[in-house]
Structure 1
Amino acid sequence: MRISTDDFKQVADIVKATPQLRRARLYTPETAQDYYTNDGPSPPFAMQLDFDTLAALEATIAVDGYLQALARLQFPSLTGCVITQQVMARRPFPVDDPIISVAKGNVPCSFLVHYPGHAEDFDAWINYYLTHHPQIMRLFDGIREIEIFTRVDWLDAMPWQRVHYMQRNKQVFDSAAAITAAMNSPVRHQMREDFEKFPPFVGSNVHFPMATHTFTFT
């Protein structure tokens, strides 16, 4: 299952006109293989909308906010889907070569990960994660971007299910094949070794490769 071309265009047209939006990432399903995990098919569609401030974002998802236009539309290709939403703080981390290299007409691929559970001591967990795990991600051959997302409280009036995952992360590569190569490399085993050192938490994690369509605004 995936979003149709027509439905994708409707979403993109609305998103691109969003007030104070700095960057939009629209994600469509891809396929890649990870040595340690197989979490099934990727979602049919996902969005990442980046704002400078929480207030700017909340204005667009208020009862009279601009993004209510999305909620009013019907998307036939997504009929029956459960739509979830979460506002998070975006934390970029450095990579050695951020230049995307894809053939004309192609887009890069992101490995989206979320941790839906909870930690016994969240402060200890997130402090360990942020000071250890992205530093190993940086060692992946061909990694173009690393972002870690942490929880915030927010106000909204969107008619979608709110979720409160304790953390998410995103790694961007040139292609799904590059993700597969990275996730079957020695660095992936280093990641797993570090995973085993995390402070105790419940809920494991979930991984999805997604083709990544980017729109930036000034």
Structure 2
Amino acid sequence: MEVCFFLIGETGQARAFDRSDISRLQSVAREAAGLKRFVLHVPAVASSHAAPAPFCVTQWYFDDLDQLETALQPGHAIATAADSIAEHASNGTLHQQAMAVRKFSTPHPHASEAHDERCTYLVGYEGEADDFNAWLTHYMTHHPPLMARLPGIRELEIYTRIDYRTGLRHARATAMQRNKVVFDDIAALDAALASTVRTRMKADFDSFPPYGGATPHYPMRSIYGNLTRK
């Protein structure tokens, strides 16, 4: 199963990522041995919303855990990227989490990620279910088929936590689950969130097994890395 590493820049006094910042991160990603995909997310809307979005989230995809753990050691790609991201915020913090990837098909996936930008709705389940097996069984059975019907959806992934070794000094995030739904732009996301499918998703949410904790939802501008080595 594919694994994904989340490096999350929590809100602080962060400056915006400019083209040179993005290019530098993409260049670092190209040096990560075994990296299959890289995505940089930055806020798509102003942070005046009730739950301020992280100033950035990066996703690093590998085919196996050994490759990821190597990239997390000092002097390797993700550690270098973490240092670069940390420079963007004063009084901000970085959190790390490795997760298993559960990818679902969508009716109209986008053809290429290289040099591409989309709008992503990132969701985190940061608390705990009373019975995680019951939670995950219900969730995987009922929710992805609804999510895949959202109008304009291009990509759908669900992540569950795993144990891993890391050389990064940053605190570990402990979300039991994360979700990602991807659209062409913020207008397409807004249309999906206003659709009848979203209403059905909310009804299904009310039938979930018991869970306690925060469930932040963040609209993000997503920049897909070109990993072609020069």
Question: TM class by shorter-chain length?
Answer: 0.7 to 0.9
Aligned to 1:87, the other structure's residue is in SS state: strand
Aligned to 2:88, the other structure's residue is in SS state: helix
1:20-39 map, 5 Å: 20-31=34-45, 39=50
Equivalent position of 1:98 in the other structure: 109
Deviations 1:129-172 (A, max 9, x none): 11111110011110001000001001101011101100000000
Superposition deviation, residue 79 in structure 1? 2.4
Equivalent position of 2:170 in the other structure: 160
Q: 2:92 aligns with which of 64, 71, 81?
A: 81
* Structure 2 segments unaligned to the other structure (5+ residues): 1-13
d(CA) in 1 for partners of 2:85 and 2:66?
A: 28
Q: 2:69 aligns with which of 58, 66, 69?
A: 58
Superposition deviation, residue 73 in structure 1? 4.0
Superposition deviation, residue 72 in structure 1? 4.1
Equivalent position of 1:35 in the other structure: none
CA contact (8 A) 1:2 1:28 kept: no
Superposition deviation, residue 31 in structure 1? 2.5
Higher strand share: 2
Aligned to 1:15, the other structure's residue is in SS state: helix
Alignment pair present for 1:4 and 2:14: no
Deviations 1:62-106 (A, max 9, x none): 2453422234447543222110110000110111111369xxx97
Equivalent position of 1:150 in the other structure: 160
Give the TM-score normalised by the residue count of structure 2: 0.84
Identity of aligned residues (%): 36
Superposition deviation, residue 58 in structure 1? 0.3
CA contact (8 A) 2:86 2:94 kept: no
Give the TM-score normalised by the residue count of structure 1: 0.88
Letter in 2 for 1:4: F
